[in-house]
Amino acid sequence: MQVNPGIFKAYDIRGIYPTELNEDVAYLIGRAFVSFLQVDQVIVGRDMRISSPAIFEAVTRGLTDQGADVTDIGMVSTDQYYYACAKLGLAGMMVTASHNPAQYSGFKMVRQMPYLLSGDQGIQDLRRLVEQEVFPTPTRKGTMKPLDLNEQFVDYVLSLVDVAPLQARAAAGNPLRVIADTGNGMVGPALQAIYSRLPIVFEGMFLEPDGTLPNHGLDPLQPENRAELQARVLAEGFDIGFLFDGDGDRFFAVDDRAVFISGDFLTAIMGQYLLERYPAAKILYDVRASWAVPDLIRAKGGTPLMERVGHAFIKRRMASEDAVFAGEVTGHYYFKDFFYADSGILPSLLLMELLAKRDVRMSDLLKELEAKYYISGEINSKVADVQGRLDALAAHYADAKVERLDGVSVTYDTWHFNVRGSNTEPLIRLNLESIASPAEMEEKREEVLAIIRG
């Protein structure tokens, strides 16, 4: 079948519905999934997108026509889907396009938790099978049955949290006040069920899953998608504000000043806190991260390990190293206790536990980091020749420590940066940091951008 090869990405399948990814393509992907993995049982969940029921119907028809039995876990967040795959020990397909705009559809695919299909491990094999449309003849037609694991998921997530500090704070007449915006994505129902059982003051925004996205987009990294939450944190005096992406595997927060917290700083803070529970443990971070992460992990006696960007790589490395936690600057947080998978809800609970136990304001934890680590945030540039620009940067900064684990990483004594190509667009992404001064960060940022955009 003629299919746009661009929908088969590094970590998942994603494309615009119905031009790039439609029912015919989804049906063949279902057949290819069973043929490639040689499985006879598959878990399938879906998000709230308008196209998801049709894509779900087509892919499950492909799965059952190819001889696999399907367990339909319904409309769920991606961390609920990971929980189901881990709990039942089965392969899975989640119909979702994550934080992409409403017109997209896609699949996140589990081989067996925590191992996902990725570009170099399975996704390109699926593409070839779909293009060839040649599948083994099945010996039987698969069946379909529904399974609701929502309550089990809520119980399991709550079992990972120490509620005693939250109870003590509430008993003292000062419960934590939290506001959360789920953007009409998939997190709302589970979040409500979990937070209703905790001794905090909880306010929700846009908790109802709605694929028309009536309020704002699904990516909290875009400032316009968090503006309303930030305004309410300030106006109503909340201790912290939480945001989740569309399918719920990413988490973001704003502090009591309504300042958006970088993923590097959240990784460093949560990593240090988890080392109290797991002394001398290993913690992973990605190549883009601030030096705050390895510095704070080492200071607490842990072992920081750098890994390339992407959940397929992080999960694989976590499992092989038996790491307890990993964080990516883009809001993915992974936990050994959650099958080495990423969850949006778990880090929100961990942060509340930390604030209550230490009896601090989130802004106090951040001020220490903001006074030492000056980070640019991720800056995207459109370029015609991504590899050419990467090579030019490596040559220009040849007197530094240059690494190519993922894109190009350049390290000097007081500043460093990582530049990598996007997996989906002709973009270069820059993350730069100085520990000397904000002025050095700005000067070096402009210097590197001039080479990138030269």
Q: DSSP letter for 7, please.
A: G
Statement to judge: residues 205 and 300 lie in one domain: yes
In this structure, are 336 and 285 located in the same domain? yes
Say whether both 427 and 338 belong to one domain: no
At 439, which CATH number? Answer: 3.30.310.50
* Domain encompassing residue 417: 374-452
pLDDT in tens, 302-319: 999 999 999 889 999 999
Distance CA 133, CA 155 (A): 43
What confidence tens digit (pLDDT) does each residue in 146-192 have?
999 999 999 999 999 999 999 999 999 999 999 999 999 999 999 99
pLDDT at 424 over 70: no
Query: 340: how many CB neighbours lie within 10 A of its CB?
Result: 27
The CATH number assigned to the domain holding 60 equals 3.40.120.10
Is the pLDDT at 422 greater than 90? The verdict is no
Same domain, 357 and 238: yes
pLDDT digits (tens, 9 = 90+) for 208-219: 999 999 999 999
Q: Is 374 left (phi over 0), alpha (psi -120 to 50) or beta?
A: beta
Mean pLDDT of 354-362: 97
| Residues 396, 289 share a domain | no
Percent of the chain with pLDDT over 90: 97
Do 127 and 190 lie in a common domain? no
Mean pLDDT of 22-44: 98
pTM for the complete prediction?
Answer: 0.97
Contacts 24+ apart (CB under 8 A), 300-306: 300/271, 300/272, 300/275, 300/276, 301/275, 302/271, 302/272, 302/275, 304/271, 306/405
Domain boundary among 87, 122, 148: 148
Q: How many CA atoms lie within 13 A of 283 on its CB side?
A: 33
- Given pLDDT bands bounded at 50, 70 and 90, which one contains residue 220? very high
Question: Does the pLDDT value for residue 333 go beyond 80?
Answer: yes
> Domain check: are 180 and 323 in the same one?
yes
pLDDT at 423 over 80: no
| 360 and 382 part of one domain | no
Give 243-273 pLDDT, tens digit per residue. Answer: 999 999 999 999 999 999 999 999 999 999 9
Same-domain check for residues 181 and 322: yes
Using CB atoms within 10 A of its CB, is residue 360 exposed (0-12), middle (13-18) or buried (19+)? Answer: exposed
Number of C-beta neighbours around residue 141 at 10 A: 11
- Catalogue the active-site residues: 98
Shared domain check, 349 and 216: yes
Report the pLDDT value the prediction gives residue 430, as an integer from 0 to 100: 98
